Amino acid sequence: MQDFFICPSCGNDDLNKTGIRDGKLYCRACLPFQGQNAPIIKHFPLNLPITLNYELTAEQTRIAEEINKNYVNKTNSLVYAVCGAGKTELVYLAMQTALAKGHQIGFTVPRREVVIELAMRIKSTFPAAKVISVFGDHHDVLTGNIIVLTTHQLFRYKNYFDLLIFDEIDAFPYVGDLVLEAFFKRSVKGVYVLLSATPSQKLLTEFPKQGKVLTLFTRFHNNKIPEPKVSRGFLLFNFVLLLKHLSLFIKSKKPVLIFVPTIRLANFIYKLLKLDYKNGNVVHSKIKDNSKIIDDFKKGKYVYLVTTTVLERGVTIKGLQVIIYNADHPVYDAASLVQISGRVGRKKEESDGEVIFIVTRENKAIKDAISDIKAKNEYLQSMLQKYSS
Ligand SMILES: [Zn+2]
């Protein structure tokens, strides 16, 4: 029997992730990633203007030019852009250059909802280009000047993209998935650009081996993530800790997000909190009008919101405070703890946000998250000093 195996598609070499068919080993790691492969298309050069209905800031323009320069010089980029909004716009210039060369462009993100929205935005920026989206069951058309796709669909594009942009690199489910990582690398023919608001310290340290790190911080936008405070209890005592922290935040009139690991616990915690604090609500994937509840929370209608990880990213609220209940639950890894902590301190005028981890024990994910936040804050501080001098 064969005792050595490397999958030619995804590079998997774990015998536990193989099966036997007709007496031969085959890979099970990339089994979900099979289907039609995209034919390679020769594109005509397109000289297109960038249609934007607003102007980039001087800083954004500088980064856009750097990305473009790297692209022309066949250098990969990691763009660490703290400014939340306006990350996509940073790559339009490089995309314009690629279109003019008749190059193949790909834009990938982990989440399918984002693919649809992104494809529309890119289409409105380059109306004359063929922009297609590929995700889930949506893969009838596989070719175009610009292909917007989930990372799960990259397997269809082997040695394909002259310019591949990858946004939200730290978002589930890509992080730590070696199969997806292999498909990502395999699909790049030319240059790639990674975009992130929260790259891990590991990536920041290691990336210079593969390309250049570009950072976009403005002098006035000190986005330090508050260092989480760990509050240790056990079983029901954790709930007592939650009540204590919540009541302090409510007294200081700050909106509070309470993250809990499961839907069941979210409902349960909310039921208990409601007895003392009427002015809140709960959101999770099984609740229909989530977005209305979130909007109401943003408008100040509720003082607290109990949530599962559905709100892990994307919510910006002035003065927000965060409590993660049972932060030692396996549903949270270091990356998601950092991501959630990053909800706080998004608005520059309110930098006194707090993050509380309520735990029974301090596990590795918690320790890693805290040291990652510390390292990032130090990095940020050094960048800010560089800028202001
Ligand atoms: Zn494989």
Give pLDDT tens digits for 239-251: 999 999 999 999 9
- Please tell me the distance between residue 25's alpha carbon and the centre of ligand 1 in angstroms: 11
pLDDT-derived band at 73, boundaries 50, 70, 90: very high
Q: Specify the range with the lowest mean pLDDT, choosing from 144-148, 173-177, 318-322, 329-333.
A: 173-177
Comparing 4 with 186, the larger pLDDT belongs to 186
Which CATH fold would you assign to the domain 229-388? Answer: Rossmann fold (3.40.50)
Q: Beta strands 24-27 and 161-167: pairing type?
A: unpaired
Closest listed residue to residue 10, CA positions, set 35, 23, 27, 22: 27
- Please tell me the distance between residue 253's alpha carbon and the centre of ligand 1 in angstroms: 53
Comparing 320 with 383, the larger pLDDT belongs to 320
- Please tell me the distance between residue 34's alpha carbon and the centre of ligand 1 in angstroms: 10
pLDDT in tens, 142-169: 999 999 999 989 999 999 999 999 998 8
364 CB burial (10 A radius; 0-12, 13-18, 19+): exposed
- Please tell me the distance between residue 379's alpha carbon and the centre of ligand 1 in angstroms: 37
Contact 297, 255 (CB under 8 A): yes
Comparing 213 with 387, the larger pLDDT belongs to 213
pLDDT at 342: 79
Average pLDDT over residues 51-63: 82
Q: Has domain 58-216 been given CATH number 3.40.50.10420?
A: no
Q: Is the pLDDT of residue 219 over 50?
A: no
Q: Domain segments of the chain: what residues?
A: 1-31, 58-216, 229-388
> In whole angstroms, what is the distance from residue 235 CA to residue 27 CA?
43
- Please tell me the distance between residue 111's alpha carbon and the centre of ligand 1 in angstroms: 22
% of the chain residues with pLDDT over 90: 51
> In whole angstroms, what is the distance from residue 188 CA to residue 108 CA?
12
% of the chain residues with pLDDT over 70: 90
Comparing 111 with 172, the larger pLDDT belongs to 111
- Please tell me the distance between residue 167's alpha carbon and the centre of ligand 1 in angstroms: 24
- Please tell me the distance between residue 26's alpha carbon and the centre of ligand 1 in angstroms: 8
pLDDT at 78: 95
Comparing 126 with 351, the larger pLDDT belongs to 126
Model pTM score: 0.67
Q: Is the pLDDT of residue 345 over 70?
A: no
Q: Specify the range with the lowest mean pLDDT, choosing from 27-36, 120-129, 157-166, 204-213.
A: 27-36
- Please tell me the distance between residue 23's alpha carbon and the centre of ligand 1 in angstroms: 17
- Please tell me the distance between residue 5's alpha carbon and the centre of ligand 1 in angstroms: 10
Q: Answer yes or no: same fold for 58-216 and 229-388.
A: yes
- Please tell me the distance between residue 29's alpha carbon and the centre of ligand 1 in angstroms: 5
Q: Which two tokens stand for residue 49?
A: 């203007």
- Please tell me the distance between residue 3's alpha carbon and the centre of ligand 1 in angstroms: 16
- Please tell me the distance between residue 157's alpha carbon and the centre of ligand 1 in angstroms: 15
What's the sign of the alpha-carbon dihedral 15, 17, 20, 25? negative
pLDDT-derived band at 314, boundaries 50, 70, 90: low
